[in-house]
Each structure stands twice: as structure tokens, then as C-alpha cells.
Structure 1
Amino acid sequence: MSRALDTRTAPPTPVTLEDAQSVGALLASSRSAETRRSYASAMRTFTAWCRVWGYPSIPTGPEVVASYIAHRAELVAHSTISRDVAAISAAHLDKGLGDPTAHHGVRQALRSAGRALGTSPSRRATPLTTVLMRQAIDAMDDLETATGKRDRAILLLGLAAALRRRELAALTTNDIARQGAGLLLQIRRSKTDQTGRGDLIGIPLGAHSETCPVLALEAWFEASGRKLGVGSPLFSRIYNHSRIGDTALSDRSIARIIQARAAAANINEKDYAHIAGVAQTWVSGHSLRAGHATSAAAAGVDSMTISRTTRHRRLDSLARYVRPASALEDSTAGKIGL
């Protein structure tokens, strides 16, 4: 005799405050720190708008979210609106509430905003290509100082390994291994590797001593007293241009260094905006990574090979850098007999 399955849900079991806090901390770490900051900013803007119009923010309904999309479509890019919708969804789901953004009307409003605004980015990081990097290094008049050696190592290592600013800031001396022909660099965690699977990147000796990332890093090690395997931050703060501290540089400090060195070299960002087909470009912490992909594509390296160093999981994401550099070579227009 068969028995029907009991599909009733068991009542929630109370847990201790300590266990509840542990679960809360675990759930909070499911998103990167950058995503949490971005979502928090989006929710502050949404909550302020709701307060002005007298709408509830959490919980809220799909009609409020659709109205907010219409409001934001007059002010910001589609990518920002998509971020806003994702933040509203996460805020509700994290509290065990129904997701108002899953409603068909909200999705239709988001698609309509995409058609009206276009989904192509309006701005993009200026790639610091190999040519521009030489320009930046040539403009450095402090290469004999600890600050100059540190900054040159940051620029060249970031370009050679296609690193994000947060990846550069997180590096320690445990992540570097010297090989006869160069370096092995361990990326313990990244934007596309939130679970810490890790990636290993090879950095060979450069063809030119002034732009060789291996020699630049060795010069910084000598100036800073850093030693492989000690576990100290790879790049740290420098006080009064001489005293080298033990505190790691933040990712924002890395970005400021990149921007300052590019500005000192009079690198013109407007030229790339025209090539990339966007309204605005600017030097940022992402410019080293973009510069690697752009330079490799211009040198004729295929996308699959580039992606092994850049660690792009999707080739369409890589194409935004590869396409401007290889558009003529990839085109079939010259092969159809015109």
C-alpha cells in the first residue's frame, strides 16, 4: 500500500542569536564588497525618490519600480538602471520578500528603456596600451625614488598581467614566484572568481629594460626591502616620499596612481573615445587591463589566447577591447570583390 508524500513545510526552528549572526555574515559575503557598495548606493537613491513621492521602498510593488525606471530613463544610462533594478530585487529577496522586479511589467519597462537609451556604454576606460605606457614611463622623473619604483612596478605589472585595480591591491609577496624566464603570479580571487579558485599568470622578461615588468618589480623589492614568501603586501604606502609602510595600498589608491601618471604624460583620452565609439573615455583603474587586451589584439593575438591572460569568461566581454584594434583585419569587406 502506497502512502502519499507529505509536502507540508516544517515550521521554522528558532536558532541562537550567535548562529543567526553567523548565517547573516555568511549571506552578506555572497556578494563582493564592490557589489554591496553599489547596491547600497542604488537603494539610497531609490529610497529618497520613494520618500519624495510617498511610495513605499521596502516592500514595494512592481508599479512603483516601473515608475522609477521611467524616471531614471530621463537621467542615467541603461546600465545604471539595470543596476538599480538588481539592487531593488536583492534588497527584497534578502529580507524574504517577494521580488517586485520579476513582474512582467517591470521587465517590459526595462526593455523599453534599453530601446530608448541604447544599451551600448556611454563611456569606457581608456586603454593604457604599450605605446601609451612607454609615454607614461618616459614622463616619470622620479624613477630613482621609492615612489617612482613602486609606481612603475604597479603600472608595468598591471599591464603585463591584465590586472584589475583590486587584484593589484590584494597582491602579497606570497603570490609571486621567480622563474628563470620571468615570474609566476597567483591571482587568489577576482571579480569573475568569487569562490577563490585562483588563476596563475606567467609574466616573461620584457624586451626592453625600461618597460620590463620583472625588472621593475625587482627594483621595487630592492627599494622596499620586500622578500618573496613573507606574506607582506606587495604594494604599500610610502610616507614623506621615503619611509615605506606596511599598510597595503587600497584599490582606489592604485587607481589614483594610474590616473596621476597618465596625466603627467599628457595622455589624451579623447582620441580613444572616437575610436571606441563612445561619448566619453577616462583613465581609470581598469585602463591597465584594457590596455593589455587592446595591445595584444593590435599585435594579432587571437581572442582565445588573450582571454587566458585576461581571464575573461565570456569572449563578448573581451570583444569591446579587441574589436576596435582588429576591425579592419577581421572584416570580410575586402574579401567579397568590391
Structure 2
Amino acid sequence: MSSDIQRRTPPCMTITREDAALVGDLLTSSRSEETKRSYSSAIRTFAVWCADRNYPVHPTTPDVVAAYIAHRASLVSHSTISRDVAAIAAAHLDAGLEDPTSHHGVRQALRSAGRTLGTAPSRRAAPVTTEAMRRIIEAMDDLDTVVGKRDRAILLLGLAAAQRRSEVAQLSTKDLTRLDAGLLLRIRRSKTDQSGKGEVIGIPLGGHPETCPVLAVEDWLEASRRRIGAQGPLFSRIFNRATIARTPISDRSIARIIQLRASAAGITGEEYSQVFGAQSWVSGHSLRAGHATSAAEAGLSPMSIARTTRHKRLDSLARYVRPTSAVEDSTAGKIGL
């Protein structure tokens, strides 16, 4: 693993610098903003560790990466180490360098870390279920303000459509279609749909006016003087609790809204830590987790749930469904004990 990594021989330039810049911009946009932030943080941490030991950073060598894996194994989870390795690989490949993480020794070190640490997540998003959402809405004492109306619409629409925080932030008024029975919501891009094929989710009218996502969205649209089909973001920042900006709200702001509103209702998610076998708290992913959990509690089949949550793999969905229905689904009660 000590052999030096050589820079790939660059091909002869056959296109103009302007076209090359366009290609570079296109390749840069291949990763989500969240992935870019995560990779950037990982590389900074790796660079500091290398600097302390006078190791090469860029390009680096497989033995350096393996040593870094061994170092990180005593500090962080296996999923974080895997993220670190992916960031190192991306940084090298993007610069036209050989990928040091593809070496057999590096992959072996990563697998060994997995056996030592276990690959189960060390933390999980606590689900904000329908019951929890009722408590959150009841605790909101500002529903007559634009902030309250916006936050209620974010919470209820995010739960009803099983959305990730980034999906809520990206919504435009053009993504909505009003029908007699409710709303059609177009998800233009998501974590599992990076190419932007898009998917449509149906949001029916709720059975309770105070928690109806359709009525909440309409209330927000009226307060913000926006209309379905017009150009512009669905949800925006609000300054001084009164001035509605035209710029879209960020995904991090969505996460903060979920956390603050849940906390105000006394919902922390800590009660799920024992169920999940991992530290659990309310996060930006809690609305999506809450939809899956609430649907499982209602007895809906995993296939039916996946059509709304848009899970491509049922084993991913099972992380939410199994803890909820473990007793009911168990065959132990059917073997005559």
C-alpha cells in the first residue's frame, strides 16, 4: 500500500476553455448541496489530521487512508467513516487523480471497522407521528400570524407527503394542483431522484380541520398572497415575524422549525432511543419518519406506504415499519405456544 499514486496523464485539449468550464459546472452540480457540505467538512477534518502527522493530503496514499480509518474507528460511527472515505475518493477523482480508497487494503480496513463498530446507525430521526403532530399544532399559539401559518403548512404538508426537509424547501407554487378531493404535489427532485424525473403525491383533505394539510397550505397561500400555479417558492423566510421574503426557505430552516415546534410541545423523541437501539431525537427527517410510522400503526402494507414515501427499497422502509408492527407481524403467536 506504500506505492505512490501518480496523476493521470491529461488528454489533449480538444474543446475550448469556455466549453471546458461549462462541463466543469455541470459535473459540480452532480451532487446535492447537502452532500457537498458533508464532503467539504470531511475533507477539512482529514486535512487537519494529515497536517498533524505531515502526511500527504491531495493526493494521498492508500496507507494514509487506512491509518485514518483506524484513527477514526475510535472516535466516530462506521457510517461517518464511510462518509469520510467517500469524500476522499470524490476529491481525488474530481481532480483527475487515482482513487486511493479503491485499494484492497483500504476496503479491508473499512470492513474491519464495520465489524468492530457495527454498521447500525448510532442515531436515528425520531418519528413525528400523527398523534405527536396534533400535540404540536395544539401548542402553537401564533396560528393567527404569518409565521404560524407558514410553519403549520410546512409541518402538515411535510408529514402528509412524507417529505425530506430538502424537498419541502424546494417546493414551488407551480408544484401544486388543487382538486376537489385535495392537492396534487409534484416532487421535482429528491435524494433518490437526482436526475429530476419527478414524482406526484396525492394529498387528500384531512378529517380534522386543525390538522388538514390542504387547508393549512391554502391558509398560508392567502396570508402570503400567493396562488397555486404562479412562479415563486411555496415557503419563504420571514423577517421580523411580518415581512415575507421572495427567496425560498432553506432546508436547515425547515429542520429548525420542526425541532423548535416539537420542543415547544414537549416532544423530544428520546422515547424511541430504546426501540431503535440508537440515540434518537427530532430532526429534519422526522416528518418523513413520522408518516411511515403512523401508516404502519394504521395497519397499512409496506407496499402501500412505499408508494407515498417513495422508498425504492423496502428494507429501508422497514426501519420505521418493523419496530411499530413487530409484535403483530411476529409468527411466534401462530406456532401454538
Q: TM-score, normalised by structure 1?
A: 0.95
Following superposition, the deviation at residue 14 of structure 1 comes to 4.2
Moved over 3 A (4+): none
Does the C-alpha gap of structure 1 residues 10 and 212 become closer, same or farther in structure 2, counting only changes over 3 Å? Answer: closer
Q: Distance in 2 between matches of 1:210 and 1:187?
A: 25
Aligned equivalent of 1:173: 173
Amino acid at match of 1:59: P
Does the C-alpha gap of structure 1 residues 179 and 78 become closer, same or farther in structure 2, counting only changes over 3 Å? Answer: same
Aligned equivalent of 2:5: none
Following superposition, the deviation at residue 198 of structure 1 comes to 0.1
306-315 vs 233-242, which deviates more?
233-242
Correspondence list, 1:151-190, <5 A: 151-190=151-190
Q: Distance in 2 between matches of 1:311 and 1:30?
A: 21
Aligned equivalent of 1:106: 106
Aligned equivalent of 1:295: 294
Deviations 1:259-316 (A, max 9, x none): 11001001132111112221x1111111100000010011111111111111111111
Q: Distance in 1 between matches of 2:224 and 2:171?
A: 15
Aligned equivalent of 2:142: 142
Aligned equivalent of 1:311: 310
Deviations 1:44-90 (A, max 9, x none): 11111111111111111111111000000010000000001111111
Aligned equivalent of 1:6: none
Amino acid at match of 2:59: P
Deviations 1:302-336 (A, max 9, x none): 11111111111111111111111111111111111
Following superposition, the deviation at residue 144 of structure 1 comes to 1.3
SS of residue paired to 1:52: helix
147-156 vs 90-99, which deviates more?
90-99
SS of residue paired to 2:300: coil
Amino acid at match of 1:100: P
The answer (yes or no) to whether the contact 2:268–2:282 under 8 Å persists in 1 is no
Aligned equivalent of 2:6: none
94-103 vs 176-185, which deviates more?
94-103
Q: Distance in 2 between matches of 1:324 and 1:26?
A: 42
Following superposition, the deviation at residue 12 of structure 1 comes to 2.1
Following superposition, the deviation at residue 110 of structure 1 comes to 0.5
Following superposition, the deviation at residue 13 of structure 1 comes to 3.2
The answer (yes or no) to whether the contact 2:258–2:282 under 8 Å persists in 1 is yes
Amino acid at match of 2:214: V
Aligned equivalent of 1:90: 90
The answer (yes or no) to whether the contact 2:127–2:269 under 8 Å persists in 1 is no
Following superposition, the deviation at residue 34 of structure 1 comes to 1.2
Following superposition, the deviation at residue 243 of structure 1 comes to 2.5
SS of residue paired to 2:97: coil
Q: TM-score, normalised by structure 2?
A: 0.95
1:327 aligned onto 2:326: yes
Count of matched residue positions in the alignment of Structure 1 and Structure 2: 329
Q: Distance in 2 between matches of 1:65 and 1:128?
A: 39
Q: Distance in 1 between matches of 2:252 and 2:118?
A: 30
User: Gaps spanning 5+ residues in structure 1: where?
Assistant: 1-8
Q: Distance in 1 between matches of 2:277 and 2:168?
A: 29
Following superposition, the deviation at residue 15 of structure 1 comes to 3.0
Aligned equivalent of 2:201: 201
Deviations 1:107-143 (A, max 9, x none): 1111110011010001111100000000000101111
User: Gaps spanning 5+ residues in structure 2: where?
Assistant: 1-8
171-180 vs 11-20, which deviates more?
11-20
Q: Distance in 2 between matches of 1:298 and 1:276?
A: 16
